[in-house]
Each structure stands twice: as structure tokens, then as C-alpha cells.
Amino acid sequence: MTPYDNYDIFPLGTQAILIRWAPREHSQFLPYLLAIKNRLVLHFEVEVVHTYAQILLKMAPSPAVLKQLKKLLDQEIEPLANKSVIHHIPVCYDLEFGLDLNAFTKAKQVAPQTIIDWHCAPRYTIAFLGFLPGFPYLTGLDPRLHFPRKKKPAFNIPKGAVAIGGSQTGIYPQESPGGWHIIGNTPIRLFDPKANNPSPFSPGDQIQFNPVSFSKYNTIAQKVARGTYDLKTTQS
């Protein structure tokens, strides 16, 4: 049995088709999911949305399409190559930005610096974008940082907020209501609808958070405002 053959196909009304894989370890499965997604996009040339273990095709589930889809899903597939882009995201964890950091450290009973170290240590993988334009869903959060979402969502989470909700961490590309705990902020621009490529992120890319001081944050913010800041990316 291959990691990807345990799926079902679900017609979502008459406008879309959903493919669901059985629950599995998301970061292990992602390279397969992305390879399958690429194959389906190439073949059907329709809009495709994926999350951790589901793919949605925006097309009518006709018998002919479903038959073709099953054939494509049952073919052998190589997971997408492990080599990927790493985005280095500067984050200021000062309390001016980490609005919930005090409450967070109290609940975890560790020093703020420990929270920052734990948050900056892993290299996160972007599983998909959703929720808000350009919002990356990341896998790889240290289990010691898992923390239930707020019971009552905050009305205004600021643009650039770096936050933790449940077992997930993410960055808010724009101001929004939300139930995650804000621990820092990045000055970089994560979504620009006027750009050819509105988001610098693609699923499968990796993210490294780098802690920066308040003054460094401001220097970068000024460069971003002038359009002279280049997001640092490297190859793994």
C-alpha cells in the first residue's frame, strides 16, 4: 500500500469534487499531495484548492470526469522533491508587538525568551494558503507551544502578527479578527494584490523565523515602505 491510495471521491454538489485521504501525518503526506495536485491541475486545467489531506477541484462531477480522476489518482506518483525555498522572516517579539506574550508565558510557566527560542528553532513547512488572502498554514510547531485558541476571538489582530492557535502557527497578512495568541510581528509585506505574484509563498516552501530587535524591525519596516526590502530566501 502506498501512502496515497487510501482516498475517497466526494461530489460537492454539482460544482465541485472533493478528494479526501484518510487522516495521516500531514508533513509526511504533503509532498505526495502536492505532486497529485500538480498532476490534476495539468490534466483538468481547473481551479484547485488543497488543505492538509484534501483536494477540491472546481468542476462538475460528471461520470466521465470521475472515471478519469480515479485513473489519475491510481497511477504511481513520486512525491515532490524535498528541495525547497526557505523564507527568512524577521519577527520582533517585543511586548509592543507580542500582545499576548505575557499571558502566554504565564500559562506555559517559562521565560519569554524560552518561548521565542522554541518558536524560532524549527523550520516550518507551508502546507497551504487559506483563511485570508496570503495566510500560510504552517506545520512543524513545537508541541510545547501548542495552546488552545482564545474562547472569544479578538476583534483586531494587527497586520503582520505572528500567532499561535492550537497546534498551528501563522502570520496575519492583513488586519483581521481572529482567535490566535499574538506573540510577535513581522514588518515584511505578505500579500500585495498589485504584484504579479501576490504572495511570496508557495505550498511546500519553508519558513524560518528570525528574532529581531525593535530598532531592526523599524529599519526593515522603513525599507518595506520604500519598496527596497527584499525578503531573504535561500534553497535548502
Partner 1 sequence: MNGLIVIQPGFWTSVQDAGRFGYAHLGIPQSGVMDRSAMAMANGLLNNRPDAAVIECTLKGPVVAFEKDTHFVITGGGVTADCAGKAVKHSAVAFAKAGDHLNIGAVSRGSRVYLAVAGGIMTEKVLGSRSMYAPLTAPKLEKKDFLPIGRSRYGAIKGAKLKSIVSNISGDKPEALCLKVFKGPEYQWLSLDQRQALLRPNNVSKYLNRMALQFEKKLQHHMPDMHTAPVIPGTIQCTPDGSLIALLYDCQTTGGYPRVLQLTSESLNSLGQLQADDKVYWELLS
Q: Which residues bind partner 1 (CB under 8 A)?
A: 10-16, 18, 20, 23, 26, 47-56, 58, 128-135, 137, 174, 191, 193-194, 198-199, 203
Distance in angstroms (rounded) separating the CA atoms of residues 172 and 181: 12
Minimum distance, C-beta of residue 167 to partner 1, in the bound complex (Å): 10
Minimum distance, C-beta of residue 58 to partner 1, in the bound complex (Å): 7
Angle at 82 between CA 80 and CA 88, to 5 degrees: 120
Burial class for 3, CB neighbours closer than 10 Å (0-12, 13-18, 19+): middle
Question: Is residue 51 within 8 Å of 37, Cβ to Cβ?
Answer: no
Minimum CB distance to partner 1 smaller for 116 or for 163: 163
Minimum CB distance to partner 1 smaller for 104 or for 135: 135
- Please provide the DSSP assignment of 141-163 as one string: --GGG-BPPPSS-EEEEPTTEEE
Task: Determine how many CB atoms are found less than 10 A away from the CB of residue 75.
Answer: 8
Minimum distance, C-beta of residue 50 to partner 1, in the bound complex (Å): 7
Minimum distance, C-beta of residue 67 to partner 1, in the bound complex (Å): 20
C-alpha cell at 69: 480522476
Where are the alpha helices (H) located in the chain, listed in sequence order? Answer: 26-44, 63-74, 101-108, 112-120, 214-226
Which distant-in-sequence residues (6+ apart) come within 8 Å of 145 by Cβ?
A: 108, 115, 118, 119, 164, 169
Question: Is residue 212 within 8 Å of 90, Cβ to Cβ?
Answer: yes
Minimum CB distance to partner 1 smaller for 50 or for 87: 50
Coil, strand or helix: which one is 172? coil
Minimum distance, C-beta of residue 199 to partner 1, in the bound complex (Å): 5
Minimum CB distance to partner 1 smaller for 47 or for 96: 47
Minimum distance, C-beta of residue 198 to partner 1, in the bound complex (Å): 6
Minimum CB distance to partner 1 smaller for 61 or for 187: 61
Minimum CB distance to partner 1 smaller for 63 or for 193: 193
